[in-house]
A and B are shown apart, each in its own frame.
Chain A
Amino acid sequence: MRHKYLKNVATIELDIEKCIGCKMCINVCPHQVLTIKDKKAFIQNKDYCIECGACDKNCPVDAIMVKSGVG
Chain B
Amino acid sequence: MIEGYISTPIGDIKKIKTYLSKKDILQDIHTRIKIKRDDFRIETGVYAIGDPDKTSPVLITANYKLTFDKLRKELQNLNLWILVIDTKGINVWCAAGKGTFGTEEIINKVVQTKLVEIVAHKNLMLPQLGAPGVSAHTIKKYTGFKVIYGPVRAEDIPEFLATGYKATEEMRKVEFNLYDRLVLTPLELIISLRYFIMIPILLFILNLISGQDLGIEKVLNLTILESIPYLGAFIIGTLVVPLLLPIIPFRSFSLKGVVIGIIWSMVTAYIRNMLMLDFQWIILIANGLILTSIITVLSLNFTGSSTYTSFSGVMKETVWTYPFVILASLIGVMSMIVGKIGDRLL
Contact = CB atoms under 8 A, between A and B. Distances in A.
Interface string B244-255: 011000011000
A14 interface: no
Most buried by B among A10, A30, A70: A30
A44 interface: no
A9 B246 CA distance: 20
Contacts of A11: 312
B226 to A, nearest CB: 36
Given A5-B313, A69-B311, A27 B134 contact: no
A50 B309 contact: yes
Interface in A48-71: 48-54, 57-58, 60, 67-71
B308 interface: yes
B137 A49 contact: no
Given A27-B167, A57-B133, A32 B173 contact: yes
Contact of B132 (A1, A32, A68): A68
Interface string A1-39: 101111101110000000000001001111110000000
A60 B313 contact: no
B135 A58 contact: yes
Interface residues of A, number: 31
A29 B310 contact: no
Contacts of B98: 70-71
A54 B174 CA distance: 13
A9 B252 CA distance: 12
Given A6-B317, A9-B310, A27-B128, A58 B172 contact: no
Nearest to B128: A28
B311 A70 contact: yes
B169 interface: yes
Contacts of B97: 52-53, 68, 70-71
A6 B172 contact: no
B173 A57 contact: no
A5 B251 contact: yes
A5 B308 contact: yes
B302 interface: no
Contact of B246 (A1, A24, A32, A53): A1
Contact of A28 (B149, B252, B311): B149
Contact of B307 (A50, A69, A71): A50
B136 interface: yes
B73 interface: no
22 contacts: A1-B246, A3-B245, A3-B308, A5-B310, A9-B316, A10-B313, A24-B136, A31-B174, A50-B307, A50-B311, A51-B310, A51-B311, A52-B97, A52-B131, A53-B132, A54-B128, A54-B131, A67-B311, A70-B97, A70-B311, A71-B99, A71-B132
Interface of A: 1, 3-7, 9-11, 24, 27-32, 48-54, 57-58, 60, 67-71
